[in-house]
Amino acid sequence: MKRIKIKELLSSKDFGASVKAEGWVRTKRGNKSINFIALNDGSTINNIQVVVDVANFDENILKDITTGSCVSVIGKLTESQGQGQSVEIQAEKIKLYGTADAETYPLQKKGHTLEFLREIAHLRPRTNTFGAVLRIRHAMAFAIHKYFNDRGFFYLHTPIITGSDCEGAGAMFRVSTLDPKNPPLNEDGAIDYSLDFFGKETSLTVSGQLEGELGAMALGEVYTFGPTFRAENSNTPRHLAEFWMIEPEVAFNDIHDNMDLAEDFLQSLVKYALENCKDDLEFLQKMYDAELIERLKFVVENKFVRLPYTEAIDILMKSEQKFEFPVSWGVDLQSEHERFLVEKHFKKPVILTDYPKDIKAFYMKQNEDGKTVRAMDVLFPRIGEIIGGSQREENYEKLIARIREMHIPEKDIWWYLETRKYGTAPHSGFGLGFERLILFVTGMLNIRDVIPFPRTPKSADF
Ligand code: ATP
Ligand code: MN
């Protein structure tokens, strides 16, 4: 007999039919004559109730059906008498696939803290919270591919191992097969990477953008969606050492087109979540964040504010707010500043543009003023920066001058520079941190709780 997913059973009207459900026991309650098993198979946050007439079953099996155990149930689908549930299964056959010792099973009781659940990352997907987060995460990944596919963008697979360390987005993890205890040395006593696997120093990528630009100069509109790695020692609720990033890159777009794309993209994704993840969002709202759905709707329904960095600095300096990090023209904004602008001042998502060139990457298009570049960061309530992007410098002379000014080794990016030599074109793009999006959509507060297996400093256990 074929198993039917619980999500499907719960919306079925096929009363009287014989059905098979399989899943993990969330709770079992009842008395000597009748037991009620709440069964969940991950297809939905909702459990199906299995009604067990004790007289018809072997006591020893029923005894072992405890929270966390895995069972297969065949029975009659019936309209539920109880409140809240519309259907239930009157059990006829039960097979116990696996027990879960009630003495030791860590999820025997409800109500664990998120901190505790991080220590059992191998089991936490079985909780309601992580089930909801992981289903939403899947839905958002799907919505991202759908958004771009519907608009004629091509998914470009950029490399994970990179030979250039000029991406400038952060400290990198080295990739090497040399023996760390006994690496080959050159005449100066330094490690001789010419003998390493790739014949040179290599690292894990911090961004797919530079390669994305190569794609855009051929296919027009591309995006990457892959893992990125940053070895910064920043233990914050918004940083991971391994995270996923979505980076669209579009030929012929200027910074205004780029902002339009970023705004429409974010709004479409949040809208998709509201339309397709209702049960999970309602659960998270009830458990963690009473304003969640309201906040999501607010982002979909309101235009984002667009504002130059210089004006933002003005607002911050004139505000009465006490900041931990002082503000003046030229400083990089901290998340406290970003959140003040979004949550207190404008009360709307904000796109800041035209940042000082000294705090931004070498490839951003230089403005006429000689001081700022055509950068754009999208700032979100509760998150701060969710997207960072820019119009790219397409002028070879200006780009190479900036590269020299910043002492970036030209030999590492000769291939990137050739896009400006051969058929250069105005173009723009941005990077959306996937986990920051999931933080926003789920209302969770710590980035470690929106990725199945978080990698952070001193932590890569699972
Ligand atoms: P931040 O200032 O918040 O550290 P950044 O300016 O270094 O971010 P970018 O290089 O602009 O980040 O990367 C693009 C996007 O990737 C960011 O807007 C953010 O959403 C996300 N992101 C960056 N670093 C991380 C990280 N360590 N963990 C998770 N997401 C990140
Ligand atoms: Mn950024």
Q: Which residue's alpha carbon is at the smallest distance from atom 10 of ligand 1?
A: 169
pLDDT value of residue 168: 66
Q: Provide the token pair at 447.
A: 């980035």
Neighbour order of strands in the sheet with 174-175: 161-162, 202-204, 174-175
pLDDT value of residue 166: 67
User: 120: Cβ–Cβ under 8 A, 6 or more apart, which residues?
Assistant: 106, 107
pLDDT tens digits, 386-421: 999 999 999 999 999 999 999 998 988 999 999 999
pLDDT tens digits, 180-209: 999 999 999 999 999 999 999 999 999 999
Q: Which residue's alpha carbon is at the smallest distance from atom 6 of ligand 1?
A: 388
Vertex 267 angle, CA 253 and 294, to 5°: 155
Q: Which residue's alpha carbon is at the smallest distance from atom 18 of ligand 1?
A: 387
In terms of Cβ atoms closer than 10 Å to its own Cβ (0-12, 13-18, 19+), residue 430 is buried
Q: Which residue blocks in 302-426 are alpha helix, DSSP H?
A: 309-318, 335-339, 396-405, 414-421
- Please give the distance, rounded to the nearest whole angstrom, from the Cα atom of residue 375 to the centre of ligand 2: 9
Supply the angle between the helices 434-442 and 278-287 in degrees, to the nearest 10: 70
- Please give the distance, rounded to the nearest whole angstrom, from the Cα atom of residue 262 to the centre of ligand 2: 14
pLDDT tens digits, 3-61: 999 999 999 999 999 999 999 999 999 999 999 999 999 999 999 999 999 999 998 89
- Measured over the CA atoms of residue 71, residue 69, residue 27 and residue 448, the dihedral's sign is negative
How do beta strands 70-79 and 154-155 pair?
unpaired
Contact 156/139 with Cβ under 8 angstroms? no
* Neighbouring residues of the ion ligand 2, judged by CB less than 5 Å: 388
Vertex 12 angle, CA 8 and 15, to 5°: 135
**330 or 109, greater pLDDT:** 330
Q: Provide the token pair at 8.
A: 């499907």
- Please give the distance, rounded to the nearest whole angstrom, from the Cα atom of residue 269 to the centre of ligand 2: 20
pLDDT tens digits, 302-313: 999 999 999 999
pLDDT tens digits, 155-170: 999 999 998 876 666 7
pLDDT value of residue 186: 93
Q: Provide the token pair at 408.
A: 């970036």
The whole-number average pLDDT for the span 121-139 is 97
Q: Which residue's alpha carbon is at the smallest distance from atom 2 of ligand 1?
A: 385
Distance CA 129, CA 453 (A): 15
Q: Which residue's alpha carbon is at the smallest distance from atom 27 of ligand 1?
A: 239
Nearest partner of 237 among 444, 459, 23, judged by Cα = 444
Contact 90/76 with Cβ under 8 angstroms? yes
User: 418: Cβ–Cβ under 8 A, 6 or more apart, which residues?
Assistant: none
- Please give the distance, rounded to the nearest whole angstrom, from the Cα atom of residue 5 to the centre of ligand 1: 38
Q: Provide the token pair at 76.
A: 């009659």
User: 128: Cβ–Cβ under 8 A, 6 or more apart, which residues?
Assistant: 45, 283, 287
The whole-number average pLDDT for the span 344-365 is 97
pLDDT value of residue 225: 98
Distance CA 355, CA 339 (A): 17
Q: Which domains, from first to last, does the chain contain?
A: 6-98 (2.40.50.140), 124-171+206-449 (3.30.930.10)
User: 298: Cβ–Cβ under 8 A, 6 or more apart, which residues?
Assistant: none
* pTM: predicted TM-score of the whole model, two decimal places: 0.96
Maximum Cα–Cα distance across the chain: 85
Q: State which of 144, 207, 240, 245 you would mutate to test the pocket of ligand 1, scoring each by most atoms of that ligand within 8 A of its C-beta.
A: 245
